[in-house]
Amino acid sequence: MDIVSLVIAWLVTSVSFFIISKLPIGVDIDTFGKAMISAAVFGLLNALVRPLFVVLGFPLVLVTFGLWIIVINAIIFGLAAWLVEGFRLRWGIWSALLGAIALGFINSLLYQVLSTLPRVR
């Protein structure tokens, strides 16, 4: 992954976090700057912690036909909220679960919109 793709992914996730904070699902982020920090922390946790959770939870992933991955995403979402000041979950794990699902959905929509834009060469 080159640096431009990494920055685009960070910005898309930052915008997604900010949009999620405006939805009534119990996720509060104070400012867009905090959303950018939250996206960076979430990305680092995804890169560093998620593989460990997936390996340790592999039997549960198999038994639940992959639905356990949503719980792993919620755990990482909650860890990011715990680490970043100004990023709060009103309803604990339920907000983390809803936030993780919303993050996946909103990120997908934003990447779909980005893929339809003309490329500058």
Each domain of the chain, given as residue ranges in start order, spans 3-116
Binned at pLDDT 50, 70 and 90, residue 120 comes out as confident
Binned at pLDDT 50, 70 and 90, residue 79 comes out as very high
CA pair distance 60, 54, nearest whole angstrom: 9
Query: What residue spans of 1-121 are helical by DSSP H?
Result: 3-22, 32-48, 50-56, 58-63, 68-83, 93-116
pLDDT reading at 16 higher than 90: yes
Tell whether pTM > 0.95.
no
Binned at pLDDT 50, 70 and 90, residue 67 comes out as very high
pLDDT of 119 reads: 82
Stretch 36-57: mean pLDDT: 96
pLDDT, the chain, mean: 96
pLDDT reading at 1 higher than 90: no
> Angle CA(93)–CA(14)–CA(2) in degrees, nearest 5?
120
